[in-house]
Structure 1
Amino acid sequence: MSTVIFRFRPHFNRFNRLSACVREKSAWTSEKILTSTLKEVDIPNLTVDQYMFRNLDKWATKTAVICGHTNRQYTYEEVYKKSRIFAANLRRKFKIKDGDTVAILMPNAPEYPIITFGVLAAGGVVTTMNPVYTAYEIQRQILLSETTLIITNEDLVPTVKEALKLAEKDFPIISLNIKSNPEGTASFKELVEDDHVDTSILKEVNRQYDDVAFLPYSSGTTGLPKGVQLTNRNIIANCEQQNTDYRQYEYTTESHQDCSLVVLPMFHCYALSICMLHKMSVGLKLVTLPKFQPDMFLNSLLAHRFDLLYLAPPLVMFVGSYPQMTAKHLEKVRAVTSGAAPLPSADIQRLFEKAEREIQFCQGYGLTETSPLISLTPFGQKTYEDVGYLLPNMACRIVDEKMNNLGPDKVGELVVKGPNVMKGYLKNPKANSEVFVEGDWFRTGDLAKINEDGLITIADRLKELIKVKGYQVPPAELENVLKEHPAVLDAAVVGVPDQATGERPRGFVVLKPEAKANDKDIMEFVSKRVAPYKKINEITFLKEIPKNPSGKILRKSLKEQYCK
């Protein structure tokens, strides 16, 4: 890698000072509870749509969102006006009432914020759906969320209609009719361009800061997807928590506006909350991509001045390994943040090599249930195996199986609380009783270790631990070792039954293009780097590792397909 001197902008120096300050100051209490060292933030008593546009006058004419594929775009003033018109039509023409659930089923698009803020301004609750869902999966979420209306792309209308039949429901479909308007659907374009609608009906909306605003679905630590009730306060708190000394953006002014790419799916809480809601609340310019395609991704990097990139591990790996990716594509990127899954330092170093410099790199940690961000690494910190420090207004504990506090430098389950923690799972008291303990402490289901200074390291998912002769083996640890092999592009590890040891690790490997290696070579490579009980004795070569849209390895799929 080329040796460079990375010159920090003024607020980066503040990050370095903060990083040093946090390391010097322990926030552990005598009860072995860790509290954030950052100054607490005030959380406005607003709804999300009110919060988003409270500073509209500062950036009304600046671009809010643009499609990186078609160049379709809207200013902040246009997003506001169109969302209000849409909201009024939802109340008048579709009889949306306070608390009604409205589903958004579509890929990333510049209309996504207009739809989202329109539903919220109409008093509705937004539930997001993956556009690759089957009719069966859509009908299940329709029933679980009690959806009353769905907004979707024109090409997805047939699937939605099939889902409605399966669910035995008959409610309206609004089509994002960019090209045509499918039969039996209402036209989104007509609804948002209806300048004659009387928006005074929105005065009837009576939603409070502690009402549910979003209802994404998450599997949590176990089981089938559950409706995560995120209130206005939850979302706004998480936005404000990112506006502290850990902020990653520069302030929007008349002469400057940071630009951020939104390639991660907006139906997922990471992109919805961090990439869209938070960044629009501070006036950034968003460039959306409808899906990830290498050429589209690379073209966008060249066409737009991206200050910030928010990625998941598979995208970081792509940036570091794709042959057509060059330093030219990354020359204006100031900072990259990765989240959603652990990321080995080897992948980060490959990104630096592509950029021919050390871009500011951060890792964040969170869950859908925490709106989603819990911790973040400050700029200037280069210990890439950790996920940083607690955000303001938060506290956490490391506990054993009996919920005893373990304190610093001990591995146990991470339990957190704060204003960004969900209200609870929708109509699921059993699941709520499993994740909430001692009142408002939320069990993350993740194993973690926190040092004396409050630096958090995620060990693994609690439910995914492999137990070999009673020893705990985190799959992520072995995956990191596998990916250090020069021929390995990607890897996954799962536990399989073993008569002698209880369980044993089994590896799945994707080789780099044109690389050559056999299973014996790779297993010997791992054996030299881990304790005997962690050794991998079986390797399966795959074309790709199955992952969900946020980049988490689908270990259950691997077990079902290869480990029967």
Structure 2
Amino acid sequence: MKFHSCSRDGIFESVLGKYDPTIDKNWTSMAELSKHIFTELYPESKIIEASSDHEISYNHLFKTARKTANQFREMGVESGTLLHLVSENDFDWLVVLIASYLNGYVIASSHPVSPWPEVSGGIDSQCATVLVLTRKCYDRLRDEIDNPFLSHIFVTDNSGNRDSYEISLTCIRREPKKVPKYDPEELNGVCQFLFSSGTTGKAKPIKVTCEMMIHSCRRNSYPGCTEYSRSISLVTQPLTHVGGLIFGVMVGVYNGATIVLADYPGSLKFLDLIQKYKLTHVSVVPAVINSWAKYPDLEQYNLTSLKYVLTGASDPNFELIHKFAQRSGNPSLIVKNTYGATESNSCTFANIDSIPTNPISIGLALPGITFKIADLNDPPNFITEAGKQGELYIKQHYGFPLYFNDPQRTKESLTEDGFYKTGDLATLDEEFQVFISGRLKDAIKFRGFTLSASSLEDAVMQSDLVADCAVVGKSDPNCYQIPVAFVVLVNEAKLMEEKLVIESILGHVASHVSEYKQIRELYIIEKIPRNTNGKVQKFILNKLL
């Protein structure tokens, strides 16, 4: 079976078919779609705030957002305003988001624990003039808040539960010292910004249109993709990121799911939340599943409600996934490898329940997605044969607005025919299944060989002594680069002599990979630096070399 069809010019299309844009023609704004979902389709569906253990209905959330939208207008915040939010994963976040849709603002956000220079940098790159913070975030940052573009600062306070939940705004007016410079035409149709992952440096604001949002919800609701309908789904990725907001909340509410909002709890605290709320769906990076599989007390938890684990951002270790499924009493647990990018606004590939794809692959291109694999040595040419590595290019029917206020970066990220250069290395098999083998910038050039950092990380993680790891390339005068591993040890290994631990891990890797792929240096550290979406920040590790 061929999982994707291929044209003569190397363009692949999924067997799932094309996207029909006329399906969603009735929705011209996120305000209209939000009203339809929250008050007409699923008014009684629930959103639960794990930090307070409170719950409210979709309908009440929308009514609260409408009142908040009125408060913003009464305090002089006009349509078209660029607004920046700093909030935990809670009700207030969603209320301000929907209020922004209703009033025609363009919203972006920062993680609730971001230091002020990082928040201020986000305000600058977004050209925001209004800042909204929850009371907790404001109390943490109040002595540092200073940005020349800001004209209004709002602080949210909330009270009540269920149908009594309310939000109030305290407004602090300021005289802006500067006027942000950008082309207003660039914001036509834009409802919000999402920031890129920042794994290679400073995060960048990416434009999201109403059309993109609606299509993302629909394609990620393809039968057998996420199966969010009637689910109880946990959202812990920060809502500032595509994984939390789009793939977590928006696709969930589009299907009427019960959404449990929580700030990232740490790998093992997830288990408490699964047990408490009888969760059916969680979305986590592979490193979290790995830690569950190795947790000595896993059997003490009742995790039988869990049906789906959606994963991505790095290669899943299916040996550890199988171990987790067996130990948790969930042998039929479905773990899905997915693929997407902030630039594409959600998942573009996923394994589908009814189609027997290789689970290690990223699955099928979802409707509306076409792709190419560019030859690394000759990018104008594209790969159609199995086993040859290239860079994955993807295209979606509504295009890629990409980076706000940065036309040069946008131009460099697209081909002339509208494909987005993902920066991910990919290969095909004989059935045209797609496998991600690493990042183009993560490829390690060793003595003429191109090594995949992610495949070496998989080999390191197979050691029972390792709880987490990352592999980077270190400059070397003789080999150009050598592969270097940073590892976090499991508790038992921390009691052993460090030299023996290092020898054991290196020996384990050497027995699983070819000689030229072996780890040349290994360092034990306390924690692998990751961004708020769980992706390794390798630029930080490179500074340690």
1:211 pairs, out of 167, 171, 189, with 189
- Mapped partners of 2:168, 2:432: distance in 1: 52
Q: CA deviation at 1:61?
A: 2.2
Distance 1:497 1:25 in 2: 40
1:535 aligns with 2:512: no
User: Equivalent residue for 2:312?
Assistant: 339
Larger RCO (CA under 8 A, 6+ residues apart): 1
Question: Which residue among 2, 16, 19 is the counterpart of 1:41?
Answer: 19
Say whether the 8 Å CA contact 2:4–2:364 is kept in structure 1. no
Give the direction of change, closer, same or farther, for the CA distance of 1:390–1:221 in structure 2 (3 Å limit): farther
Distance in 1 (CA, whole Å) between partners of 2:186 and 2:530 is 37
User: The residue matched to 1:174 in structure 2 has which SS?
Assistant: strand
Q: Does residue 377 of structure 1 match 2:351? A: yes
Residue 494 of structure 1 is matched in structure 2 by 472
Kept after mapping to 1: 8 A contact 2:159/2:167? no
For 1:392, the equivalent position in structure 2 comes to 367
- What is the aligned counterpart of 1:444 among 401, 419, 422? 422
1:557 corresponds to which of 512, 521, 540: 540
1:107 equivalent in alignment to 2:84: no
Q: Say whether the 8 Å CA contact 1:53–1:281 is kept in structure 2.
A: no
Deviations 1:488-547 (A, max 9, x none): 221111111112111101111222221355212221221222222211121111222111
Question: Given the two structures, how large is their TM-score scaled by the length of structure 2?
Answer: 0.88
Distance in 2, Cα, partners of 1:80 & 1:494: 46
Which residue does the alignment assign to 1:147?
A: 128
Q: Quick one: distance in 2 between partners of 1:221 and 1:111?
A: 28
Q: Specify the code of the residue in structure 1 equivalent to 2:260.
A: V
Q: List per-residue Cα deviations over 1:354-405 (Å, max 9, x = no partner).
A: 3221301101111100102110112375733221110101100000242311
1:247-326 aligned within 5 A: 247-249=225-227, 251=229, 257-293=230-266, 297-326=270-299
Query: For residues 467-478 of structure 1, what are the structure 2 equivalents within 5 Å?
Result: 467-478=445-456
What amino acid is the match of 2:407?
P
Q: 1:433 to 1:446 in 2, by over 3 A?
A: same
CA distance in 1, matches of 2:44, 2:369: 36
- Alpha-carbon separation, structure 2, partners of 1:420 and 1:508: 41
CA offsets 1:421-475 (integer angstroms, 9 cap, x no match): 5312111122112101113110001001123433211011101111011211111
| Secondary structure, counterpart of 2:298 in structure 1 | coil
Q: Secondary structure at 2:5's aligned position in 1?
A: coil
1:234-245 matched pairs, under 5 angstroms: 234-245=212-223
Distance (whole Å) between structure 2 residues aligned to residue 339 and residue 53 of structure 1: 31
Distance in 2 (CA, whole Å) between partners of 1:420 and 1:143 is: 28
Offset of 1:103 from its aligned partner?
A: 1.3
For residues 169 and 208 of structure 1, what CA distance do their matches in structure 2 show? 19
Q: 1:71 aligns with which of 53, 70, 73?
A: 53
Q: SS state of the match for residue 214, structure 1?
A: strand
Matches of 2:301 and 2:271 in 1, distance apart? 10
The range that moved more, 360-369 or 295-304, is 295-304
- Deviation of 1:407 (Å): 1.4
Q: Tell me, what secondary structure is at the counterpart of 2:424?
A: strand
Q: TM-score, normalised by structure 1?
A: 0.85
Any unmatched runs of 5+ in structure 2?
Answer: 171-184
Between 1:519-528 and 1:499-508, the stretch displaced more is 519-528
Q: Secondary structure at the match of 2:450?
A: strand
Q: Among residues 91, 97, 103, which one is paired with 1:122 in the alignment?
A: 103
Distance in 1 between residues matched to 2:126 and 2:150, nearest whole Å: 15
Q: Quick one: which of 137, 155, 160 aligns to 1:175?
A: 155
Q: Please give the alpha-carbon distance, in whole angstroms, between the structure 1 residues aligned to 2:141 and 2:124.
A: 13
Asked if the contact 1:261/1:287 (under 8 Å) is kept, the reply is: yes
In structure 1, how many angstroms separate the alpha carbons of the residues matched to 2:191 and 2:275? 36
Aligned-CA RMSD value = 2.6
SS at match of 2:400: coil
Cα distance change of structure 1 residues 96 and 312 upon mapping to structure 2, 3 Å threshold: farther
Once the two structures are superposed, residues 54-100 of structure 1 have per-residue CA deviations (whole angstroms, 9 ceiling, x without a partner) of: 2433321232x1112312221011122111222222223232322x2
Q: How many residues align?
A: 512
Checking the alignment, whether the CA contact within 8 Å between 2:155 and 2:169 is kept in structure 1 is no
In 2: Cα distance, 1:293 partner to 1:78 partner: 30
Cα distance 1:290–1:492, how it changes in 2: closer, same or farther (>3 A)? closer
Task: Give the Å deviation of 1:220.
Answer: 7.0
**8 Å Cα contact 1:376/1:390 also seen in 2:** yes
Cα–Cα, structure 1 residues 387 and 163, in superposed 2: closer, same or farther, change >3 Å? farther
- One-letter amino acid matched to 2:311: S
Which amino acid is the alignment partner of residue 321 of structure 1? K
Q: Deviations over 1:220-269 (max 9, x none)?
A: 78653221011111111111112223332264xxxxx3211112222111
Paired residue for 1:135?
116
Structure 1 residue runs of 5 or longer lacking an equivalent are 1-22, 181-186, 193-206, 252-256
Matches for 1:501-516 after TM superposition, within 5 Å? 501-515=479-493, 516=496
CA contact (8 A) 1:417 1:441 kept: yes
Cα offset, 1:343, TM superposition: 2.0
In the TM superposition, what are the counterparts of 1:401-416 in structure 2 within 5 Å? 401=376, 402-409=379-386, 410-416=388-394
CA distance in 2 between counterparts of 1:283 and 1:231 reads 22
SS class of match (1:53):
helix
- Seq. identity, %: 21
Q: Name the counterpart of 1:14.
A: none
1:131 Cα shift? 1.5
Distance 1:152 1:29 in 2: 50
Partner of 2:175: none
Shift of 1:213: 1.4
Q: In structure 2, do the counterparts of structure 1 residues 82 and 454 end up closer, same or farther at CA, with 3 Å as the change threshold?
A: farther
